[in-house]
Chains A and B, each alone.
Chain A
Amino acid sequence: MKSTALTATHEALGAKLVPYAGFNMPVQYEGVSAEHETVRKGVGVFDVSHMGEFLIEGPHALELIQKVCSNDASKLTIGKAQYSYLPNETGGIVDDLIIYKMKEESYLLVVNAGNIEKDWNWISSKNDVGATMRDLSPDYSLLAIQGPKAVEAMQSLTSHDLSEIKFYNFVVGDFAGVEHVIISATGYTGSGGFEIYCKNSEVKQIWDKVFEAGASYGIKPIGLAARDTLRLEMGYCLYGNDIDENTSPIAAGLGWVTKFTKEFTNSEALKSEKEHGPENKLVGFELDDRGIPRHGYDIVDGNGNKIGVVTSGTMSPSLNKGIGLGYVPAIFADAGSKINIQIRKNAVPATVVKTPFYKA
C-alpha cells in the first residue's frame, strides 16, 4: 500500500483511511455530509496526491499528445489546461486526464491514480515520435483547495492575484512560502477553487499554511467520500465507474472533448459514432421517490425490462434526494424521460435530468 506525504497528518486529524487505487487515503474526517457542505458553502482541502503526473517534453511532445488524446491540444497556450481522454482502439477509454501546457514543448498530463502504470505503458507504446517522457507521480503532491471562499481564504499565501486566474488556467509561482508551485483553477467539485501541485518535500509546509490562512474561513480537511458526492452532484464522470475500457466516450457525453481536427487513436470510428449517434447514452437521473441508486443497480422500463445500468449513485447531500448516472438507450435519454431504478425488490421511479444536478 502506498502512502502520500501527508498520511501521518491525516491519521493525526482522526481521518478514516481506506485503500483506494493502491494508496492509503483519507475517506472522511468528521463525516461526509458536513464535509460536503463545507466545500459547497465555505472552503475545504483534499489531499489528492495519489493522482499521477507525467511530463511530456521536446520538439515532438505535442505530436505524441495529439496522437493519444481526444481533445485538440494544439489549442493550448502556456498557462492553460484542457480536459481530455485517451481513447483505446476498441471504442472505449484508457483514462481521462487534464493536460497543462507548461512551456513551449512541455506538457504536464494529470491522470487517475489507479491508471498510472497502464497510462504510462499506453502512451509509451505510442511514442514512436521521440518525445521525452517523465513520470513525476512518485515525487509530486496535489492539494485541491475547493469552495466559494477558496480565493479569498488563500490570497494571503501568494503574490499572484487568485481572482484573476480563470477556470482551467494556471500560474506557476509562489504559494505558502514555496516557489515554483502550480496554482491551477481546476477541481472536481463544481464549487470553484484551486489545485496546488508541489513536491512531496514541500506539501506539509503548504498544508499547514493553508490551514492557518483558512482558519478564519472555517477551512476543513475533506475526504474522498465527499469528493465523490461533490463530483456526482455535478455529473462529472469517474473513471472506473462511469467510463472505462468498454464504454464509448461518445455515449458518455465526452463528445465535447473529442476533436476531429486531427487524427488520434480510433478517431475514424469515433467520428462515425458521433455522426450516427450512440446507441446508449450516459444520463443523469433523480429518484421521484425515496431511495438511493447505487453503482451496478439495474435501470428498468415501465414493464420491468432491463434497459440499462446505474454507474454512479448516491444520496445528494445538497438536494437531499437520490441521484445517479447510468447508461440508457437513446430513446430514454431526453430530460424528462421516465425510467425506474431497481432497488432490491422495488422498481423506484426516476426522471432523467440535465446535469449538473446541483446549481450553485
Chain B
Amino acid sequence: MNIPAQLKYTKDHEWISIDGDVATVGITDFAQGELGDIVYVEVETVDETLEIEEIFGTVEAVKTVSDLFLPLSGEIIEFNSALEDEPEKVNSDPYGDGWMIKIKLSDVTQIDGLLSADAYKELIGA
C-alpha cells in the first residue's frame, strides 16, 4: 500500500498536498483499490467556495458511486480535466496524474486537523 509520508490525509481516504495556501487533492491508493476501475470523475464545483466536508464531486467506479468531500474549506480553483477522458489515471497514478482538484484555502489552520501518513496508515490497518 503506497502512503507517501509527505502528504496529509482524511478519514474519507483523500490525500492533500499543501503549497502555501493552495491544496491539491486526490484519493488514496487504498481508496482507488477499494473502488476498483474508475470510469468517471465528476466535479462541477469549480469556482465555487465550499466549506470543509461539503461534497465537491463524485467518483464513479463500474459498480459504485462515491461522493467526494472537501478536505479543507476554500475555493475550488481547478479540476484536473485530464480525468474527463482518462479517469483510469486515478487507478494507475492516484498521487500523481490522478489528482482531482486544487483548492485556494480560506482557513489554513484547518490543515492541523488532517491526518499524517502514519495516522492514515493506522486508520486503514495497513
Contact = CB atoms under 8 A, between A and B. Distances in A.
Interface in B28-71: 36-37, 39-40, 42, 44, 58, 60-63, 65
Interface residues of B, number: 13
Contacts of B60: 292, 315
Contacts of B39: 33, 292, 315
A161 to B, nearest CB: 37
A225 B36 contact: yes
Contacts of A149: none
A317 B62 contact: yes
Given A225-B63, A291-B40, A315-B60, 18 more contacts: A31-B37, A32-B61, A32-B62, A32-B63, A33-B39, A33-B62, A34-B37, A225-B62, A229-B62, A290-B40, A290-B84, A292-B39, A292-B60, A294-B65, A314-B62, A315-B39, A315-B40, A344-B58
Contacts of A344: 42, 58
A296 B61 CA distance: 17
Interface in B1-45: 36-37, 39-40, 42, 44
B84 to A, nearest CB: 8
Interface residues of A, number: 19
Nearest to B37: A33
B57 to A, nearest CB: 10
A346 B42 CA distance: 11
A218 B65 CA distance: 31
A228 interface: yes
Contacts of B40: 290-292, 315
From B36, B40, B61, name the one whose CB has the most chain A CB atoms within 10 angstroms: B36
6 contacts: A31-B37, A225-B62, A314-B63, A315-B40, A344-B58, A345-B44
Contacts of A31: 36-37
A33 B84 CA distance: 18
Interface in A1-52: 27-28, 31-34
Nearest to A226: B62
A202 B44 CA distance: 54
B23 to A, nearest CB: 24
A32 B58 contact: no
From B37, B44, B62, B84, name the one whose CB has the most chain A CB atoms within 10 angstroms: B62
